[in-house]
Amino acid sequence: MSPEVVAVLGAMADASAEAYYWWATGLMVCIHAGFMMYEMGQSRVKNVLASGVKNILAFCFIIPTFFMFGWWLYFAYGTGTIFLPDMAAEYAAYAVPWSEHMGPNLGLPGWGVLWAAFVLFSATTASIVSGSVIERIRISAWIILATLVGSVVWIIAAGWGWSPTGWLVTQWGFHDVGAAGCVHMISGFFALGILINLGPRVGRFNADGSANDLRGHSVPMTIAGLMIIIIGFFGFLGACLLYPSPLLLTDMTQPAGYLTIYGGPVNISAFAFNTLMGFGGGVIGAYVITKDPFWMMSGALAGIFCAAAGLDLWYPPTAFALGFLGGVVIPYSHKLITSWGIDDAVGAVSVHGTCGFIGVMAVGVLLGGYPGVGDIPAISFTGQLVGAIAMGLGGFIPGYVVSWILKQCGILRTSDAIQELGVDVEIPVPAYPESMQSRDYS
Amino acid sequence: MFDSSPIDTWEGAAAIFNSAGSIGEVIWFWIAVALCVITVISAIIHENKTERERG
């Protein structure tokens, strides 16, 4: 093939790659729209707009902070050690905010859309935590914690285990194509760390430890929001694939197809089969146990996460069965966590933490022996277990430590008096001025 | 734990899903069918109970 033809093919592939990640990024905004509806629906009327504002601000603080340092952290930890970044990492220099590539640059097409896709992954990670802490976390504290999980913690974990050169991959053969570990386990366990320090909502627990149900004001809004999140996950999972193009280092002189983040061959069809099967299994599993539409739609997410780590490799009925397992497990997991006196308002720890763990370990139990690409070790139970421990601790420890510091500074939790009145006292407009009682604006 | 990989190398690989071409494929298929049937039975039992108690 002549160099001119290769150049033209490369340019066309790069343009297509840019379009692919642009639309995937746009779809991922649905995850935020969905989480916003979900959290507002799960809030009581007196807290509804504060929940929405919290969600919107988390997304919008992650955008500039991921530009400032998050993108650099991915490349620096992609070849670094567990704790130390690689200051000389090959692409890290492209990702520092004063690099010539961190702005419109005709010489490196696609860098910005890759950054954008990762921004949405980051914002998704923070959105996951957002629901668990509604109705009593201070918005200022939440901005700090959301930035931490979205622009620091998850992206370091992604450098470890969602990158072809991360230590979890090169040393342990860790396999997690759909980010069950670095997004869902990280966010679920980060949320757990915060919840321990944040404390429950006023009225959630009685003196004898029994729990009261603090029902949200709109179940239809909640379940519609969860369905919209599912739409967004098609963008998320699509963006987990590497589009064959010079941007992603494809040799355009050879036949090429999509790759996983680890460089293994895959196609969108594999993801299509297993995303839908995991989704369906999760809803059905949760229905069998609860008959509750909230848990059914949470089961939809749980089902996808239980299949996420091996979306490239599952036989679809296996993904369905894993999804079913996720849907069955989450209400019991939530009940257990509640019995510990932990108030997770939306079940995020169970849906993301527990099911992210199931997803990672299912690969270790059922997909052992699959060869890695190049020098990457084969998939193994031990490798997945090491990864699961790293992700669990990697999420929990910073969530716990930083929220503890904020608590000691007295800026983590809204006072009981404000909680009784409704956190929407901080919002200058009423949520439902005519049809539903919000709070007294007189 | 379960070595379910149908391939030893990615060169020339086609069907790469777990248990491809083995009895495991059949087993997983029937597990999925059973889970669907269990769900329908669960729904029937639940609705009959509601009819008895509230109908």
Is A163:A174 a contact under the CB 8 Å cutoff?
no
Q: How far apart are CA B15 and CA A283, in angstroms?
A: 28
Q: Please, which pLDDT band fits residue A441 given cuts at 50, 70 and 90?
A: low
Q: Report the range of poorest mean pLDDT among A277-281, A338-342, A392-396, B11-15.
A: B11-15
A12/A17 Cα distance (integer angstroms): 9
**B42 is a domain residue:** yes
Residue A393 tokens read as: 């601790």
Residue A439: what pLDDT?
A: 58
Residue with token string 């604006």: A441
Residue A319 has pLDDT above 60, yes or no: yes
User: What does the pLDDT read at residue A383?
Assistant: 97
Kindly report the three-state secondary structure assignment for every residue of A204-253: CECCCCCECCCCCCCHHHHHHHHHHHHHHHHHHHHHCCECCCHHHCCCCC
Q: Say what the pTM is.
A: 0.95
What are the chain A neighbours of B5 within 8 Å (beta carbons)? 367-371, 378-379
Sign of CA dihedral A293, A297, A300, A306: negative
How many whole angstroms separate alpha carbon A154 and alpha carbon A419? 30
Residue A438 confidence (pLDDT): 60
User: A251 pLDDT band (50/70/90 cuts)?
Assistant: confident
CA distance A399 to chain B (A): 32
Cβ-contact A89, A79 below 8 angstroms: yes
Q: Phi first, then psi: what are they for A211, rounded to 5°? A: -105, 140
CA nearest to A175, candidates B5, B15, B11: B5
Assess if residue B2 is contained within a domain.
no
Q: Does B17 map to a domain? A: no
**A265 by DSSP, 3-state: which?**
strand
Domain of B28? Answer: 22-55
pLDDT per residue as tens digits for the range A176-225: 999 999 999 999 999 999 999 999 999 999 999 999 999 999 999 999 99
pLDDT of residue A81: 87
Over residues A308-313, mean pLDDT: 97
Query: Comparing C-alpha atoms, which of B29, B27, B16 is closest to residue A320?
Result: B29
Domain assignment of residue B38, yes or no? yes
Which one of A284, A314, A315, A373 makes the best mutation probe of the B interface by having the most chain B beta carbons within 10 Å?
Answer: A315
Q: Which residues of A231-240 are buried (b: 16+ CB within 10 A; e: fewer)?
A: ebbbbbbbbb
Asked if pLDDT for residue B3 goes beyond 80, the answer is no
CA B23, chain centre distance (Å): 14
Contacts of A366 in chain B (CB under 8 A): 1-2, 4, 18
Question: What span, in angstroms and rounded, lies between the C-alpha atoms of A179 and A162?
Answer: 7
Residues in chain B whose beta carbon is closer than 8 A to a beta carbon of chain A? 1-5, 7-10, 13, 16-20, 24-25, 28-29, 31-32, 35-36, 38-39, 42-43, 46
CA–centroid distance for A116 within its chain = 15
Q: How far apart are CA A200 and CA A134, in angstroms?
A: 10
Crossing angle for the helix pair A381-408 and A186-198, nearest 10 degrees? 30
Asked if the interface predicted TM-score (ipTM) of this complex is over 0.90, the answer is yes
Contact between A282 and A324 under an 8 Å Cβ cutoff? The reply is yes
Q: Residue A80 and residue A90: Cα distance in Å, rounded?
A: 11
Calpha distance A35→A130 (Å, rounded) = 8
More confident residue, A401 or A9: A401
Q: What does pLDDT average to over chain A?
A: 94
Domain assignment present for B37: yes
Q: Searching chain A, which residue's CA lies closest to the CA of residue B20?
A: A315
Give the other-Cβ count within 10 Å of A53's Cβ: 18
CA dist., res. A37 & res. A55, Å (int): 10
Q: Indicate whether B54 belongs to any domain.
A: yes
pLDDT score of A414 more than 90: yes
**CA pair distance A93, A76, nearest whole angstrom:** 9
Report pLDDT digits (tens) over A136-146: 999 999 999 99
- Considering the domain boundaries, does residue B4 fall inside one? no
Looking at residue A47, what DSSP letter applies? G
Q: At what angle are helices A154-161 and A111-132 packed, to 10 degrees?
A: 120
Q: How many domains is chain B partitioned into structurally?
A: 1
Cβ contact (<8 Å) for A313 and B16?
yes
Residue A433 has a pLDDT of: 87
Work out the widest C-alpha separation in chain B, in whole angstroms. Answer: 63
Tokens standing for residue A374: 């190049």
Q: Do B8 and A371 touch (CB under 8 A)?
A: yes
Q: Name the residue among A284, A287, A366 with its Cβ closest to that of B18.
A: A366
What does DSSP assign to residue A168? Answer: H
The answer to whether A367 contacts B32, with C-beta atoms less than 8 Å apart, is no
DSSP H helix total and E strand total for chain B: 1, 0
pLDDT value at position B1? 66
Range list of H helices, A291-411: 293-308, 316-339, 348, 355-366, 381-408
Contact A347, A134 (CB under 8 A): no
* pLDDT at site B8: 87
pLDDT at A440 over 80: no
- Structural domains present in chain A: 3-426 (1.10.3430.10)
Which residues are registered as beta bridge partners of A287?
none
Please report whether residue B35 resides in a domain: yes
Chain A residue with Cα closest to B7: A370
Q: How far is A220 from chain B (nearest CA, A)?
A: 21
